[in-house]
Chain A
Amino acid sequence: MIDDITLGYLILLFPLITFVVNGLFLGNKCAKAAAIFAVICNGLAFAAAGTLAFHYFSSDFAPQKAILFDHTFIPFIGDLVARIGMLVDPLSVMMLVVVTFISFMVNIYSIGYMREDRAAGRFFALLSLFSFSMLGLVVATNLFQMFIFWELVGVSSYLLIGFWYHKPSAVSASKQAFILTRFADSFFLLGIVLVSYVVGNFDFSTLNSLSLIDFQKQFINLGLVTIPKSEALVLGSILIFTGGWGKSAMFPMHIWLPNAMEGPTPVSSIIHSATMVVAGVYLVARLFPFFAICDNALTLIMWVGAFTMVFAAVIACTQKDIKRILAYSTLSQLGYMMFALGACKIGQVVAVTGWTASTFHIFTHAFFKCSLFLIAGSLIHQVGTNDLDAMGGLGKKMKLTYACTLISILAISGIPPFSGFFSKDEIILAAFQGQHYVVFGLALFTSGLTTFYMFRLFFLAFHGAPRHEGVKAGHVHEDFAMTLPIAILAIPALASGFAAQPIFEKFFVPGQMNIPQLVRLDHAEWLPFVAVGIAVVALVIAWVLYASPWAKVGRALDETNRSGIYKVIYHKFYFDEMYYAVVRQFIFGGIARVARAFNDYVIEGLLAFTVWFVHKLGDLVRFAQAGYLPFYLGTLIVGVLLWRFFGQLPL
């Protein structure tokens, strides 16, 4: 019997081995072998993670933390030691299962999706690197390890989004994703430096058991100002959150996520469900007790999440590119998770409902969102475009896909008994219990919007008359490798809610904290009915507009005669354009030009002069080397005199 420590190593090693073997050996030679190898290894990783999870949750040990292994990586000074380890607690075990499972599914799916791609071998290598990075991040025992894998996640997402590097749009999207998340990461790094300097430790266990009172009397000099260490910690917590802010694509750093659609669809699927974007939420969840003591950090997190939630949902209602709709829906769902974490704070005390709800939503969301993206990829494969204009009427031809889509969409809309209902209900409950009534209202409203835009997508893609020539002619089929994971994913999309709820309610609490905790709050029994009611109303509206006998689908898709507000929303509030304006005009035109001039005239000039000078000196040395013996003999004498006078000997 393999013990848990070996399992822990195996979970991380299988994807890494896949990356190395496919990247170095199999990838270039035989894409098919690479694909099979990747599927097998990721399947084994999932099996290992599943076994570990089973061991963990079925043992009496369960809600406690354990460290399976811990290797010293860089010993800085004192307790400030960077380690690479594996932390096991309910949150990380849950994430391990999710990441390995999604990665397994996506790998199977990619066999079909990447069948005709020449570089499929590279794709499978990078995909495994991606899941390896995320697994490393999830099991991190300390901030430093998390940052290393955090950056690895960034790099692998960059490589995957820009996978089709011959497409300029893919290249710019990958750059955008990388630069924007790196921009946020630089604050993250600053936060790590600040916090680890103040605390003297990277470990989550230490950070999560801090108390600000210990730091109020000590001061730290930040160069410009001297502030109490407690305030430095609050600043550090906000800086650290900024990393998650960018990685989870919260407003206003959200623009990279919809643009990242340029990558192959399996990549979008894995980015949106298990790796990359949930890293930000995971960071906040992991450091939750730390954020909880840091004054209003959680309030900031809540508002950032809530705003993104509504903002993205509004945009999603108008989009026509199905992957973009899904991308904005991810943003909106991430907003839910984020604000649920933030909403835990009630004055000076903390309720833990939101934390449980948020992690629960990470769990359920992963399945239905992955499934939705895989379905989108499947549809795109049929019609050759992302545009809803070209879809419609696909439901009759793709029966299985149709059924699975319906399950996932009902799940994301929060209709019982599908998985999304349970987690979303808890999130809304958390907002209510936290007495954040504005956010509570927004969450209910967004829940309606979600149902609306998801069913809009559903009706426009699957119902009505076919609008694509190929579909009309009946050239539609369901690829086995692509449909299999979709079908498998429909099961957790349906069942993970009620099946996992007991586990989450039993085990998922953020741990001991140094501030008062509200353990029990009243459960608002009427809340699920209100939420479901709103969802049903939204569903009906979507049906009336897009699928009922009175619906004018042609007009609904036509964007020429629209009001100003619609156009603003359709163009995503012109955020992309604003970014470009700032980058082009201010950064490229202003700062970059000055820097360029300095480089061209001052630095290059100095360099050129140095090179010229050194070469001239070299000429001098060679000139002296004329082969003239008397001169050489002279140098001996001169040399003695030279060192007599300049050798600084006490003569």
Chain B
Amino acid sequence: MTNFAIPNFILPDVLLLIFPFVVIGIRLFVTTQSKVPWRMANIGFIAIFFLLNFIPLASGNGKFFICNWKVDDFGVLMREVLMVSALLGMWLSKDYFEHGADKKPPMHQIAEFIGAIAFATFGGFTVVSACDLLTFFLGLEIATIPMYALAAWNKRDQYGSEAATKYILMGSVATAFELFGFSYLYGFSGSLHFNEIQAAVASGSSPLLWIAVLFLFCGIGFKLTLFPFYTWAPDVYEGAPTPVTAVLSVTSKATAIAFLVVLVYGPLSPIQDKMAPLIALLAGVTLFVGNLGALKQSRLRRFMAYSSIAQAGYIMVALLGPATTAKTAIIYYLFVYAVSNYLAFFVFGIIGHHREETFQSLRGLSKQNPSLAIALAISMFSLAGIPPLAGFFGKFHLFFSGASTGHYALVAFAVLNNVIALFYYLQLIKAAWVDEPDGHLTPLRLTKRQREVIILLSIAVILLGFVPFLSNNIFAGFMN
């Protein structure tokens, strides 16, 4: 039945699609200094986030729009994660347009910047809504291409350009892998549609299918920074402007993991148990290498790059579990990860506005600015997974998912790795809390927005851990 009225569950997606055009469009009619685009962007993002919360969960197989755009529970929650990330990324970026940071000049064209973030977010929306390979691939590309531009946003910063060059070159190869994988998958199943692919996969496998699986994992491994495809991450994270790094580490990673979730629990679900060894290996090696890399870093963003590589490994552990458990764990963890990670990046950003973004700059933070030091400690302890902060429960759900299908060895290995992780997260805290202050460091000043966001995020990190019904709610969404 054809119905020209737009169903309301699609409204946030439509709004987000229109959103960048509006923001960029308004820019044409106002002065450079005008705050209108910025305010519009705020209103828009918050409105979309709120609209998402009105979509009822527990909807079974989800609702379809023109039978090719699926909005299911996982999709809605993933959209919320992505919107949180976009909103926080936008707030973080604002200061970088006002004055330079980390010895780089200020950036320009905030409206376009926000538009790019919105496009990337919409890419993520597309990935979780796709019902066929083409949409799926398009979503991934929409999510990736703005990132290339964002990485090089600071045109006067040659490191940024270098980073973007590396990123786009390696990204192209990865995209090629993806396409190659998709083409084999099409060749194997003879259809682009997920349901038919799933039926074909269930009826029997052939080397064609396995080549497709291999290349799909390798391709997405690039975006998810899995071993050994993570090599771009430290360089790009360090070269790109700080807010872009933050967006990269959350939005891009969330999109990539959503891609894998859709794939593994969608068309490839009949062979999940046969892919388990590969997933387990990828997870184990990635989290180990990420942790090793983070050990002796001195630059904060490079450190965060390795930390987020390791986090990707942890998230991969959940992919071994049954669909409901795994999706719950991943969604909950992504929320926690987004909040904790952005909290860290906000603290680093404030440091970066006045000092270099290195461990050295954190020395004696607890004496100069105790509240900032507390926020840093909260975020680091959460990332390290110390109870009762959110990170602990997030990791618990991830490992629980992995263990529920009997991958005890991997879970044990991951938990052991947490010891290494704790070691380097604690080094940051040590720098802030134990080391003597360095008299040469310029004092820190917090703007009102920064202070508010940091308080908000700190509370969120604590609350997400302390209030178990939040995770239970997410869980309930999948219980049906």
Interface positions, chain A 594-651, Cβ under 8 Å from B, are 614-615, 617-622, 624-625, 627, 629, 631-633, 635-636, 638-640, 642-644, 646-651
> Across the interface, which residues of A come within 8 angstroms of B210, CB to CB?
649-651
Could you tell me if A632 and B214 are in contact, using CB atoms closer than 8 angstroms?
no
CA separation between A650 and B211, bound complex, in Å?
10
* Interface size bracket, A side: 20 to 34
Are A640 and B295 in contact, with the CB atoms below 8 A?
no
**Do B281 and A646 have beta carbons less than 8 Å apart?**
yes
- Complex partner residue of A649 from B169, B214, B222, B227, CB under 8 angstroms: B214
Set of chain B residues within 8 Å of A639, measured between Cβ atoms: 218, 221, 227-229
> Could you tell me if B231 and A625 are in contact, using CB atoms closer than 8 angstroms?
yes
**Known contacts A629-B166, A635-B231, A639-B218; is-contact A647 B293 (Cβ 8 Å):** no
Instruction: Provide the residues of chain A in CB contact with B278, threshold 8 Å.
Output: 643, 647-649
A640-B274 contact in complex given A621-B293, A632-B166, C-beta closer than 8 Å: no
Asked whether, in the complex, the Cβ of B289 is within 8 Å of the Cβ of A621, the reply is yes
Give the chain A neighbours of B217 by CB distance below 8 A: 643, 647
B-chain residues with CB within 8 Å of residue A649 when the two chains form the complex = 210, 213-214, 274-275, 277-278
| Residue in B170, B211, B289 whose CB lies within 8 Å of A633 | B170
In the bound complex, what is the Cα–Cα distance between A621 and B217 (angstroms)?
22
Q: Indicate if B335 sits at the interface (CB-CB under 8 A).
A: no
Contact with A along B217-258 (1 / 0, CB 8 A): 110011000011101101100000000000000000000000
Q: Roughly how many angstroms separate A248 CA and B165 CA in the complex, as a whole number?
A: 78
B286-311 vs A: 1/0 string, CB under 8 Å? 00010011011000000000000000
Tell whether, in the assembled complex, residue A650 and residue B292 are in contact, meaning their CB atoms are under 8 Å apart. Answer: no
Complex: A631 Cα to B231 Cα, angstroms: 9
Contacts of B282 in A (CB 8 A): 643
Q: Does B205 reach chain A (CB closer than 8 Å)?
A: yes
Beyond A627-B235, A629-B166, A633-B173, is A643–B292 a contact (Cβ under 8 Å)? no
Any A CB within 8 A of the CB of B343: no
The residues of A that contact B281 with a CB separation of less than 8 Å are 643, 646-648
Once A633-B173, A635-B229, A640-B218 are accepted as A-B contacts, the answer to whether A647 and B277 lie under 8 Å apart by CB is yes
Residues of B close to A631: CB separation below 8 A? 231
Task: Tell me, in angstroms, the Cα distance from A617 to B285 when the chains sit together.
Answer: 12
Q: Is the CB of A640 within 8 A of B214?
A: yes
Flag whether B453 is at the interface (Cβ < 8 A). Answer: no
Please measure, in the bound complex, the distance between the C-alpha atom of A646 and the C-alpha atom of B228, giving whole angstroms: 13
A651 contacts B211, CB within 8 Å? yes
A629 nearest CB across to chain B (Å): 6
In the docked arrangement, what's the CA distance between A651 and B281, Å?
16
Interface presence of B174 (CB below 8 A): yes
Would A636 and B170 count as touching, CB distance under 8 A? Answer: yes
Most interface-central of A615, A625, A638, A646 (chain B CB within 10 A): A625
Check if B314 is an interface residue, CB within 8 A of chain A: no
- CB <8 Å contact, A647 and B214: yes
Option from A614, A624, A633, A643 in Cβ contact (under 8 Å) with B218 = A643
Q: Is the CB of B222 within 8 A of A636?
A: yes
Closest to B213 in A: A649
Which of B215, B217, B292 gathers most chain A CB within 10 Å? B292
Q: A625-B234, A627-B235, A632-B166 are in contact. Are A650 and B274 (CB under 8 A)?
A: yes
Distance between Cα atoms of A633 and B231 in the complex (Å): 9
Query: Taking the nearest CB of chain A, how far is it from the CB of B293, in angstroms?
Result: 4
Cα–Cα distance between A642 and B218 once the two chains are bound (Å): 10
A627 nearest CB neighbor, chain B only = B235
Instruction: List which B75-128 residues lie within 8 A (CB) of chain A.
Output: none
Q: With A and B bound together, what is the CA distance between A639 and B289 in angstroms?
A: 14
A-contact bits for B159-191, CB 8 A (1 contact / 0 none): 000000110011001100100000000000000
Q: Which residues of A contact B169 (CB under 8 A)?
A: 629, 633
Instruction: Report Cα–Cα, A244/B234, bound state, in Å.
Output: 62
Given A643-B214, A650-B210, A651-B214, decide whether A636 and B174 contact each other with a Cβ distance below 8 A: yes
Nearest-neighbour CB distance to chain A for B313, whole angstroms, equals 13
User: Whole-angstrom distance between the alpha carbons of A646 and B277 in the complex?
Assistant: 9
B323 at the interface (CB under 8 A from A): no
Contact code string A311-335 (vs B, CB < 8 Å = 1, else 0):
0000000000000000000000000
B7 within 8 A of A: no
Contact across chains for A636 and B218 when beta carbons are under 8 A apart: yes
A642 contact set on B, CB distance < 8 A: 228
Report the Cα distance A640→B227, complex, angstroms: 10
Nearest Cβ on chain A to B446's Cβ, whole angstroms: 30
**Which residues of the partner chain A approach B277 to less than 8 Å between Cβ atoms?**
647-649
Q: Which residue of B lies closest to A625 (CB)?
A: B234
Instruction: Select B296's contact among A619, A632, A635, A644, beta carbons within 8 Å.
Output: A619
Min C-beta distance of A194 to chain B, whole Å: 31
Query: Which B residues are in CB contact (< 8 Å) with A617?
Result: 292
Cβ of B235: which chain A residues have Cβ within 8 Å of it? Answer: 625, 627
Known pairs A633-B170, A635-B229, A648-B277; A615 contacts B211 (CB<8 A): no
Measured between alpha carbons, how far is A413 from B386 in the docked complex, in Å? 60
Among A615, A619, A635, A647: residue with most chain B CB under 10 A:
A647
Taken together as a complex, chains A and B put the C-alpha atoms of A87 and B221 apart, in Å, by: 62
Whole-angstrom CA separation of A646 from B232 in the bound complex: 23
CB-defined contacts of B207 to chain A, threshold 8 Å: 651
Chain B residue with Cβ nearest A620 = B292
B420 at the interface (CB under 8 A from A): yes
Instruction: Find chain A residues with CB under 8 A from B293 CB.
Output: 618, 621-622, 625
Instruction: Check A636–B173 contact: CB distance below 8 A.
Output: yes
> How far apart sit A640 and B218, CA to CA, in the bound complex (Å)?
6
Which residue of the partner chain A has the closest CB to B238? A627
Q: In the complex the two chains form, is B296's CB within 8 Å of A615's CB?
A: yes
Binary CB contact string for chain B from 444 to 459 against chain A (1 if under 8 A, 0 otherwise): 0000000000000000
Most chain B CB within a 10 A radius of its CB, from A614, A621, A629, A650: A621
B274: nearest residue on chain A (CB-CB)?
A650
B175 to chain A, nearest CB (A): 11
Q: A625: which B residues are within 8 A, CB to CB?
A: 231, 234-235, 293
Bound-state Cα–Cα, A625 to B296, Å: 13
Q: Which residues of A contact B (CB under 8 A)?
A: 614-615, 617-622, 624-625, 627, 629, 631-633, 635-636, 638-640, 642-644, 646-651
Known: A622-B293, A632-B170. 13 other contacts (CB 8 A): A614-B295, A618-B296, A621-B289, A621-B292, A625-B235, A629-B165, A629-B169, A632-B166, A635-B231, A636-B174, A636-B218, A643-B218, A651-B211
25 inter-chain pairs at a CB distance below 8 angstroms, sorted by A residue, are A614-B420, A618-B293, A618-B296, A624-B231, A625-B234, A625-B235, A629-B165, A629-B169, A632-B166, A633-B170, A633-B173, A635-B228, A636-B170, A639-B229, A640-B177, A640-B214, A642-B228, A647-B281, A648-B278, A648-B281, A649-B210, A649-B214, A649-B275, A651-B210, A651-B211
Query: Which residues of B are interface residues toward A (Cβ below 8 A)?
Result: 165-166, 169-170, 173-174, 177, 205, 207, 210-211, 213-215, 217-218, 221-222, 227-229, 231-232, 234-235, 274-275, 277-278, 281-282, 289, 292-293, 295-296, 420
7 tightest Cβ-Cβ pairs between the two chains A and B: A648-B277, A618-B295, A647-B278, A618-B292, A621-B293, A632-B231, A639-B228
